[in-house]
Chains A and B, each alone.
Chain A
Amino acid sequence: MKKFEKIIAGVILFLSFVSIGIMMFSKSNAPNSNVVIKVNDKVVKEIPMNNSSESKIYDFNFNDHIGQVELKNSKVRILEMSRDLCPNGICSKTGWIDKTYQSIVCLPNKITITIQGGKEKGDEIDVIP
């Protein structure tokens, strides 16, 4: 190859590696995560995570009732329900979760709330017994 072509080839290769690098870097600042609400293992609502400090509250249906979740600062929690709906309040006492291995569970109503996607480095736990 002539020298001119070698230089061009070199520049193109360099630029392509740079662009791979940029794409990989921005992949790790992952796409937004989702809050997934399931009732009896069926997804009833999926909400994009709220990364702002402004609180957002969403309703969801379960067994002809309405529950509420609050999303704020990349965390989610379920709001307290009446005693007759939720006798022990374990789900609301769980508080805020923000990791994919955490979950909020309301056993009597078969509600589970988890976070999916948007895994960060170091957040690689598969399961907690």
Chain B
Amino acid sequence: MLIVKKQTQKRLASIVLMIMVTGILTACNTSTATTSNGSNKEEVAEADGFAMGTVILQKVYGANGQATIDETMERIKSLEALLTFNAPEGDIYQLNDNAGKKNVELDPVTLKIINKAQEVAELSNGAFDITIGPIVKSWGIGTEQERIPPKEELQKLLPLVNYRDLVVGENSAGLKKAGQMVDLGGIAKGYAGDEALQIYKKNGIKSAFINLGGNVVTLGNKPDGSPWTVGIRNPRPQDAASGQQIVGIVTVADKAVTTAGDDQRFFEKDGVRYHHIINPHTGYPAQSDLMSVTLITDSSFNADAFDTAVFVLGLEKGKELIQKLGGIEAVFITTDKKIYVTDGLKGNFKLHDESNEYQYNE
């Protein structure tokens, strides 16, 4: 039936045309559907770095993502050299080395961090105290030397813990007593987070996050316009051999989220957990009613500076401090597995607890 009428030819032609058109439309649809979840097809760079005693994860969207990540990592490493008490050329090493002897000239960044730490110490009645150095060293938690120090040793070291003995001037600072030591472990990463954010913004980045060992800073929304989904860790995963489990989720944009918990660095002996957040008044890991606290606020510096204090203070006093400060929201997880959130999070926080062991009363 090769000879076809003209009319049938026209019909056939239009059918073929329709098939082609729908074929093209279908192909376009499916290629959109198979685009990665960053639907803007924006370039993304990711990296794990190691600095400040922890792993630093960066995820940056934009054409200059990798360059931005590299620049940020470099800045973090130079901050580490300045602020760690291990590096002999660094400020903190010099400060500690001259305890009881003389004041030491310090970099403006070091002074900024120390001043903030002192402010937090005052506001929290010493629940956060950067002169905790000798005690931290004595416990060695997270190092190969971790141990339970003998009581007599702690009693001898405790008088050295006193933020009032750290005298801060315009360009210098000094520790009054020999043997005193400043440790910025509880605040340096938070400061670094804010600097990272500045670098991202300077480079025109609109969407990114960084996680400096528990200090998360988010910039903007994700490329698809949705906020970042941040998980709140389960401090007692039922299956202890099962990665990081979560108990809840918050969504944020342009916020810092920091979690301080007794599950980050610890060792167990005879069924007792010894974690890394030392109570400056007792010299022992803080025994508050909290297993973890997560702070959400604009500044990563503030989030890190205050989360240790809030953890040590416990639920009631911690909440009071946060309310006094303003601009900070929090998720508390108590030792009896209850979750509390501040008012500003009530519409945001979602329980997401596979273990089914936690209670969240809105």
Q: Are B49 and A127 in contact (CB under 8 A)?
A: no
Q: How far is the CB of A128 from chain B (nearest CB, A)?
A: 4
B112 → chain A closest CB, angstroms:
23
Q: Is the CB of A128 within 8 A of B230?
A: yes
Q: Given A87-B144, A96-B243, A105-B55, A12–B22 Cβ distance below 8 Å?
A: yes
Which residues of chain A have C-beta atoms less than 8 A from B240's C-beta?
93, 95
Q: Which of B27-35, B95-103, B332-340 lies at the interface?
A: B27-35
The answer to whether B14 touches A5, judged by C-beta atoms less than 8 angstroms apart, is yes
Chain A residues contacting B222 (CB-CB under 8 Å) are 126
Quick check: which of A20-28, A51-59, A60-68 contacts chain B, the rest being far away? A20-28
Chain A residues, Cβ within 8 Å of B48 = 38, 41, 112
Q: A16's contact among B22, B50, B244, by CB below 8 Å, is which?
A: B22
A-side interface size class: 35 or more
**B22, B142, B215: residue with the most chain A Cβ atoms closer than 10 Å:** B22
Residues on B with C-beta less than 8 A from A94 are 241, 243
Complex contact B241–A19 (CB within 8 A): no
User: Is B118 in contact with chain A by the CB < 8 A criterion?
Assistant: no
Shortest B114–chain A CB gap in Å is 24
Q: Are B22 and A13 in contact (CB under 8 A)?
A: yes
A40 at the interface (CB under 8 A from B): yes
Cβ of A79: which chain B residues have Cβ within 8 Å of it?
none
Nearest residue (CB) in B for A22 is B30
Across the two chains, which residue of chain B brings its CB closest to A99?
B243
A107 touches B243 (CB 8 A): no
User: Which of A101, A105, A110, A126 has the largest number of chain B CB atoms within 10 A?
Assistant: A126
How far, in whole Å, are A74 and B154 apart by their CA atoms in the complex? 47
A126 & B243 in contact (Cβ 8 Å cutoff): no
Closest to B212 in A: A129
Cβ–Cβ contact A125 & B249, under 8 A: yes
A77 contacts which chain B residues (CB < 8 A)? 241
B233 interfacial contact with A, CB 8 Å: yes
Q: Does B361 contact A (CB under 8 A)?
A: no
Contact A128 B144, beta carbon cutoff 8 Å: no
- Binary contact track A17-53/B, C-beta < 8 Å → 1, others 0: 0011001100100000000001011000000000000
The reply to whether A127 and B241 contact each other, CB–CB distance below 8 Å, is no
Q: Given that A12-B18, A129-B258, A129-B259 are contacting pairs, would A95 and B243 also be in contact in the complex, using a CB cutoff of 8 Å?
A: yes
- Whether the Cβ atoms of B57 and A5 lie closer than 8 Å is no
Which chain A positions have C-beta within 8 A of B49?
41
- Please report which residues of chain B, range 176-230, place their CB below 8 angstroms from some CB of chain A when the two chains form the complex: 209, 211, 214-216, 222, 228-230
Whether, in the assembled complex, B152 has its beta carbon less than 8 Å from a beta carbon of chain A, the answer is no
Listed from nearest, the 9 A-B pairs whose CB atoms lie closest are: A95-B241, A97-B243, A128-B231, A102-B243, A129-B216, A125-B231, A16-B22, A16-B26, A129-B259
Would you give 29 A-B contacts (Cβ < 8 Å), ordered by A? Answer: A16-B22, A20-B29, A23-B30, A24-B30, A41-B47, A41-B50, A77-B241, A94-B241, A94-B243, A95-B241, A95-B243, A97-B242, A97-B243, A101-B244, A102-B243, A103-B55, A103-B244, A107-B50, A107-B53, A107-B55, A124-B229, A125-B229, A126-B59, A126-B228, A127-B216, A127-B230, A128-B246, A129-B211, A129-B257
